[in-house]
């Protein structure tokens, strides 16, 4: 469906629910304003219907989760059938049989050599498993991570996230497990503005940190990186960056960890973003688009790395009550099949390239658009107060999110300065829906 706004959002029912939510939820969780949010009631494909009956075209895929589309019939049917058969198992004691099926399927789609996994319920848990795996496999407790990165808000993942705004309130409690280097964000790099030069300089700085005593990098056994930064602003690195990190790790005996929770399962037009550069990590973290909607994630490693974990003697040292949850397994298996059978990864690449091109044409001379960038269906529009100074304009991103909402298009703000409009639509977005969404974005941008 195309957008259909019956009542100006947020409508009366959304406002009522917002008032009730304010009484019963921690005030930090959901932003509540006069013009935001709307409360979802139903979603199908690339459409969302709110509690007031407004229909939206979704350019968020609910935080990049619904790649196959909201409530894909095959995924829904798989979850329903599994719920009727086995709702919950004992993942590390008496495992559900479907857990074996999923682990086999993950080994089949993961890049070469990544064949053994630890299952989890969230992306942050997958990162925690990766951090533990690296420490056990290398004997070194720390990692090198990157400014602007987002790996989750549990304590280990938060300690390795390069976002001071998230870390600062809990700094006194966080373990010092990470050192940080700049991500090669060419538009805002301290190393210049030429992408190739920025990538090369970043790699040299990483080598300096790793090889120079006194740089606070002692005890590092792994490098943790998002192949494309998600919440950091849809930042695509220069072409030589990830191959360079692979070389650095190989030369120094370090493990390379890719956090593909955001980018995995077709989001960038490949099954995994690292494939754009032909780089395979030692450990891969996945989640979000893995199931098309169920809370589920995994840390997948090479056989050699995973063998570092001790064999269970009846009490696992890393597990959880819902590990390998049957409904999550069923959703992930169905989602993987849908992505393959309906060629949705290819759809992500093709439609994403068309949207990126159209956005580039629309904003080429726009004084408030500094850059449009992305891969596949992961696109960022960087908004600035002035193209020359490149001063971030977070207030403009906020205005666009509100104005598109009023017109029936769901968008998200992001970026380390809050000035990036982040687009991550479902792969089943139709050409007609894409055209309507782009026309709305063009009109809103012109009004700025």
Question: By CB neighbour count within 10 A (0-12 exposed, 13-18 middle, 19+ buried), where does 212 fall?
Answer: exposed
The token pair at 88 is 């919950």
* 130 CA to centre of own chain: 16
Exposure string (b/e) for 356-390, b if CB count within 10 Å is 16 or more?
A: bebbeebbeebebbbbbbbbbbbbbbbbbbeeeeb
The span from the CA of 429 to the CA of 352, in Å, is 10
Question: By CB neighbour count within 10 A (0-12 exposed, 13-18 middle, 19+ buried), where does 280 fall?
Answer: middle
The token pair at 286 is 């996945």
Strand partners, 302: 114
Task: State the pLDDT at residue 117.
Answer: 98
Q: Residues 6 or more apart from 244 whose CB is under 8 A from it?
A: 199, 200, 203
CATH of the domain spanning 91-340: 3.40.640.10
The span from the CA of 411 to the CA of 3, in Å, is 13
Strand partners, 384: 392
User: Nearest 5 degrees, angle CA 30-CA 32-CA 33?
Assistant: 155
The token pair at 300 is 């997948």
The span from the CA of 270 to the CA of 255, in Å, is 23
111 conformational bin, left if phi > 0, alpha if psi -120 to 50, beta if neither = beta
Q: Give the H/E segment covering residue 204.
A: helix 195-211
The span from the CA of 301 to the CA of 7, in Å, is 49
Q: Within 13 Å, how many C-alpha atoms sit on residue 123's CB side?
A: 24
Report phi then psi at 255, rounded to 5.
Answer: -90, 145
Q: Residues 6 or more apart from 44 whose CB is under 8 A from it?
A: 69, 70, 71
The token pair at 223 is 């490098």
pLDDT tens over the chain, length 448 residues? 999 999 999 999 999 999 999 999 999 999 999 999 999 999 999 999 999 999 999 999 999 999 999 999 999 999 999 999 999 999 899 999 999 999 999 999 999 899 999 999 999 999 999 999 999 999 999 999 999 999 999 999 999 999 999 999 999 999 999 999 999 999 999 999 999 999 999 999 999 999 998 877 789 999 999 999 999 999 999 999 999 999 999 999 999 999 999 999 999 999 999 999 999 999 999 999 999 999 999 999 999 999 999 999 999 999 999 999 999 999 999 999 999 999 999 999 999 999 999 999 999 999 999 999 999 999 999 999 999 999 999 999 999 999 999 999 999 999 999 999 999 999 999 999 999 999 999 999 999 8
Q: Give the H/E segment covering residue 248.
A: helix 241-252
DSSP for 286-321? E-GGGTSSSS-EEEEEEHHHHTTSPPPSSS-SS--T
Is 258 in contact with 287 (CB distance < 8 Å)?
A: no
The span from the CA of 327 to the CA of 77, in Å, is 11
Task: State the pLDDT at residue 214.
Answer: 83
Is 232 in contact with 201 (CB distance < 8 Å)?
A: no
CA dihedral for 227, 230, 231, 237, sign (positive or negative): positive
The span from the CA of 352 to the CA of 269, in Å, is 8
Total-model pTM: 0.97
The domains of the chain are located at 12-58+343-447, 91-340
The span from the CA of 246 to the CA of 280, in Å, is 8
* β strands within 198-272, DSSP E: 220-225, 255-259
Q: Residues 6 or more apart from 25 whose CB is under 8 A from it?
A: none
Q: Options 3.30.70.2860, 3.40.50.261, 3.40.50.300, 3.90.1150.10; which CATH number does 12-58+343-447 get?
A: 3.90.1150.10
Q: Give the H/E segment covering residue 157.
A: helix 155-159
Task: For residue 170, count other CB atoms closer than 10 A to its CB.
Answer: 12
Task: For residue 303, count other CB atoms closer than 10 A to its CB.
Answer: 11
The token pair at 252 is 């120094």
Q: Residues 6 or more apart from 123 whose CB is under 8 A from it?
A: 151, 152, 259, 261, 285, 286, 287, 288, 297
The span from the CA of 31 to the CA of 131, in Å, is 31
């Amino acid at each position: 469906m195309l957008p259909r706004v019956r009542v100006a959002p947020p409508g009366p029912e959304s406002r009522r629910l917002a008032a009730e939510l304010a009484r019963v939820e921690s005030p930090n969780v959901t932003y509540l304003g006069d013009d935001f949010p709307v409360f979802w009631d139903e979603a199908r494909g690339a459409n969302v219907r709110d509690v007031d009956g407004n229909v939206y075209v979704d350019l968020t895929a609910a935080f990049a989760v619904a790649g196959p589309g909201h409530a894909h019939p095959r995924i829904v049917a798989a979850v329903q059938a599994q719920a009727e058969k086995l709702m919950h198992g004992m993942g590390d004691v008496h495992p559900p049989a479907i857990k074996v099926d999923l682990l086999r399927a993950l080994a089949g789609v993961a890049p070469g050599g990544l064949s053994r996994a630890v299952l989890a319920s969230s992306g942050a848990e997958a990162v925690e498993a990766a951090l533990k795996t690296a420490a056990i496999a290398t004997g070194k407790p720390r990692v090198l991570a990157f400014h602007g990165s987002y790996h989750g808000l549990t304590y280990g993942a938060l300690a390795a996230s390069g976002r001071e705004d998230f870390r600062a309130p809990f700094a006194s409690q966080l373990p010092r497990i990470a050192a940080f280097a700049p991500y090669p964000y060419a538009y805002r790099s301290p190393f210049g503005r030429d992408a190739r030069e920025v990538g090369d300089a970043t790699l040299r700085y990483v080598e300096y940190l790793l090889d120079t005593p006194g740089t606070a990098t002692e005890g590092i056994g792994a490098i943790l990186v998002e192949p494309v930064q998600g919440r950091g602003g849809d930042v695509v690195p220069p072409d030589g960056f990830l191959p360079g990190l692979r070389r650095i790790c190989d030369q120094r005996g370090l493990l390379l960890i890719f956090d593909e929770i955001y980018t995995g399962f077709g989001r960038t037009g490949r099954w995994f973003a690292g494939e754009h550069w032909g780089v395979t990590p030692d450990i891969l973290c996945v989640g979000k688009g893995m199931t098309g909607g169920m809370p589920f994630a995994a840390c997948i490693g090479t056989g050699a790395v995973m063998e570092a974990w001790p064999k269970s003697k009846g009490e696992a040292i890393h597990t959880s009550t819902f590990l390998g949850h049957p409904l999550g397994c069923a959703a992930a298996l169905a989602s993987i099949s849908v992505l393959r059978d309906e060629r949705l990864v290819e759809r992500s690449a093709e439609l994403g390239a068309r949207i990126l091109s159209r956005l580039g044409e629309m904003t080429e001379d726009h004084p408030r658009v500094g850059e449009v960038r992305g891969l596949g269906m992961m696109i960022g529009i960087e908004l600035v107060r002035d193209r020359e100074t490149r001063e971030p304009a977070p207030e403009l991103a906020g205005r666009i999110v509100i104005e598109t909402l009023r017109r029936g298009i769901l968008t998200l703000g992001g970026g380390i300065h809050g000035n990036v409009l982040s687009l991550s639509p479902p792969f089943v977005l139709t050409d007609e829906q894409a055209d309507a969404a782009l026309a709305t974005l063009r009109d809103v941008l012109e009004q700025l």
